[in-house]
Amino acid sequence: MLKKLLVANRGEIAVRIIRAAQDLGIATVAVYSAADAGSLHVQLADEAVNIGPPAAKKSYLNIEAILKAARDTGCDSVHPGYGFLAENAAFSDAVTGAGLVFVGPSGDAIRMMGDKVSARSAAAAAGVPVVPGSAGRVESLGAGRKVLTETGFPVMIKAAAGGGGRGIRIANSLAEFEQAFPQAEAEALAAFGDGGLYMEKVIGKARHIEVQVLADGSDAIHCYERECSLQRRRQKVWEEAPSRALSDELREALCASAVALAKAVKYSGAGTVEYLYDDEADRFYFIEMNTRIQVEHPVTEAITGIDLVAEMLRVAGGERLRIRQGDVSVKGHAIEVRLNAEDPAKEFAPFPGQVAELRIPGGPGVRFDSMLYQGYQVPPFYDSLLAKLIVHAETREAAIMRLIRALNELKIGGLKTTKPLFLALAADPAVRTGDVHTRWLEGWLIENAAALAG
Amino acid sequence: MAQILSPLPGTFYRSASPDQPPYKADGDAVSAGDVIGLIEVMKSFHEVRAETAGTNIRFLADNEDPIMAGAPIADLD
């Protein structure tokens, strides 16, 4: 078992990790920037170390400062949380190189899953369905024409060196494809210094479904799936478990494929394998694997009763997985919404400020993961997540009723938050029936802009 | 003399990205509406524009400085 853990993060996830460590009797060290001296994770940890000025680059992304804090306080381990350095292979290597335990996978596993082409190859090799497309780079227009027999139209032409939505062209016909391919090649060369292209079928209406895995380097299990189809600008805002879209048969196949991938890459710790699910074709396709604990992990904890962060800490401490696959079962339905310091009436403009009043919802089936307290000054330097409200009930319908009840109990005075968005979504017929896809919310926001502003 | 004040709290940047030159150098003339820097608030970026024209801009805030809403960014003659 680990003895003393440095938590290399801030906000609600730092609080979450400190709680899990303290439940296991592990001493905790918080790190903080000058802007976070009064924050909750600093108050709750056994010790806290100032690692630099407010800019994340100089504090929460400063590997040297974090390793020094770990050495100075006698830590034997580091948990990276999510964001910041969580999927930085060099950080994992540096922590291990300093003789400490990194609570997460090896640098090599992070590197393999971080590279789009190698992750896709690893998934395909493990028998996980990938989005139909080219096996690797497409060297010529002629080679591209052959790939079209796999993908059909519309097809995406992507820059191999691109990312974050840059360097993508979509062709709807052979004529468009033949025009777009050389243009995409020239653009990729100009933008990235690398004209390499690859191709993928466009999945029109798809759900985002992801499988939680836990692994110890040799054995791996899944903890079923989450659906996160409600997204704004590719950011999830509402997550639930289980997904109502899947048949039991497809659910088992999906979850088994995630376990196969985790085992194939000898994964260790908690990870998430993300998929697109095409309702019409009733098929799922691998997108990527996230090698960290995710923001939305509590919905899985609610339906399975497993403390995922505690299991990460146990595995990192050298234990084998304690939970057998047969012990994991789903009970009820859970929903999480992300309360951000953003004004939904003004195109989600950020709204840092002081928490003048705080009323936290409670009662059966309600969990509130947050770093807020009355009087807390929300700094402008980091992301806008203030709190996650998680509800759990016997059925999805009951969970939505409970979500509305809990949102009405919640009061965060002095700030604009995304609470009005979730009250409106919870009342929407499409959300009630679960008839949504990953681009549904963007359209809904345009249609309902006036209602949100009022 | 006029001052340009920060409209938002956040992190102040003098250029569009680390590999770009600053929008304005000390001593430059400024037209009304010119972008003189960026403020990053909760991971979103907002341009700071000069409201009036002036000569000889002198920055009071450094690149990557944390800044509060209403704090002076630069003096203008």
A25 Cβ contact list (under 8 Å, min separation 6):
A1
Question: Is there a single domain that holds both residue A231 and residue A211?
Answer: yes
| Alpha-carbon distance B65 to nearest alpha carbon in chain A (angstroms) | 8
pLDDT at A377: 96
Residue A122 lies in a domain: no
Question: Is there a single domain that holds both residue A406 and residue A384?
Answer: yes
Instruction: Report pLDDT digits (tens) over B52-69.
Output: 999 999 999 999 999 999
Closest residue of chain A to B66, computed from CA coordinates: A54
Which spans in A152-247 are helix H?
A: 174-192
CB-CB: which of B8, B42, B64 is closest to A384? B42
Residue A125 lies in a domain: no
Inter-chain touch B43–A35, beta carbons under 8 Å: no
pLDDT at A120: 86
Out of A183, A201, A219, a domain closes at A201
CATH number of the domain within which A408 lies: 3.30.470.20
d(C-alpha B38, C-alpha B16), whole Å:
7
Question: Is there a single domain that holds both residue A411 and residue A296?
Answer: yes
pLDDT at A96: 98
Inter-chain touch B8–A55, beta carbons under 8 Å: no
Chains A–B, number of C-beta pairs less than 8 Å apart: 37
Residues of chain A short of pLDDT 50, as ranges, are none
User: What is the average per-residue pLDDT within B17-45?
Assistant: 93
Inter-chain touch A352–B9, beta carbons under 8 Å: yes
pLDDT at A98: 98
Q: What residues make up the domain containing B43?
A: 2-76
Closest CA to A154 of A140, A178, A171: A171
At B1, is the pLDDT very low, low, confident or very high (cuts 50, 70, 90)?
confident
The first and second tokens of residue A24, run together, are: 């296991």
CATH number of the domain within which B58 lies: 2.40.50.100
Strands B72-76 and B58-59: antiparallel
Q: What residues make up the domain containing A149?
A: 132-201
pLDDT at A233: 86
At B8, is the pLDDT very low, low, confident or very high (cuts 50, 70, 90)?
very high
3-state secondary structure of A5: strand
Question: Is there a single domain that holds both residue A194 and residue A225?
Answer: no
Question: Is there a single domain that holds both residue A193 and residue A213?
Answer: no
What is the predicted ipTM?
0.79
d(C-alpha A277, C-alpha A134), whole Å:
20
B66 touches chain A (CB under 8 A): yes
Question: Is there a single domain that holds both residue A174 and residue A210?
Answer: no
Running DSSP on this structure, what letter comes out for residue B21? Answer: P
Question: Is there a single domain that holds both residue A271 and residue A375?
Answer: yes
Judged on CB neighbours under 10 Å (0-12, 13-18, 19+), A413 is: exposed
Question: Is there a single domain that holds both residue A345 and residue A387?
Answer: yes
Closest residue of chain A to B44, computed from CA coordinates: A350
d(C-alpha A41, C-alpha A5), whole Å:
13
Closest CA to A234 of A439, A436, A448: A439
Inter-chain touch B43–A53, beta carbons under 8 Å: no
At B20, is the pLDDT very low, low, confident or very high (cuts 50, 70, 90)?
confident
Question: Is there a single domain that holds both residue A220 and residue A337?
Answer: yes
Instruction: Domain count for chain A, please give it.
Output: 3
Instruction: Domain count for chain B, please give it.
Output: 1
A139 Cβ contact list (under 8 Å, min separation 6):
none
Closest residue of chain A to B40, computed from CA coordinates: A381
pLDDT at B75: 95
Closest CA to A214 of A97, A111, A307: A307
pLDDT at A263: 96
Of A16, A292, A314, A402, the active-site residue reads A292
pLDDT at A137: 85
Please say whether the beta carbons of A323 and A349 come within 8 A: no
3-state secondary structure of A354: strand
Question: Is there a single domain that holds both residue A86 and residue A176?
Answer: no
Question: Is there a single domain that holds both residue A79 and residue A182?
Answer: no
Inter-chain touch B41–A382, beta carbons under 8 Å: no
Instruction: Report pLDDT digits (tens) over A283-297.
Output: 999 989 999 999 999
Residue A121 lies in a domain: no
pLDDT at B43: 85
Inter-chain touch B44–A350, beta carbons under 8 Å: yes
d(C-alpha A201, C-alpha A287), whole Å:
12
Question: Is there a single domain that holds both residue A148 and residue A257?
Answer: no
The first and second tokens of residue A21, run together, are: 């460590």
Closest residue of chain A to B63, computed from CA coordinates: A55
| Catalytic residue flag (residue A292) | yes
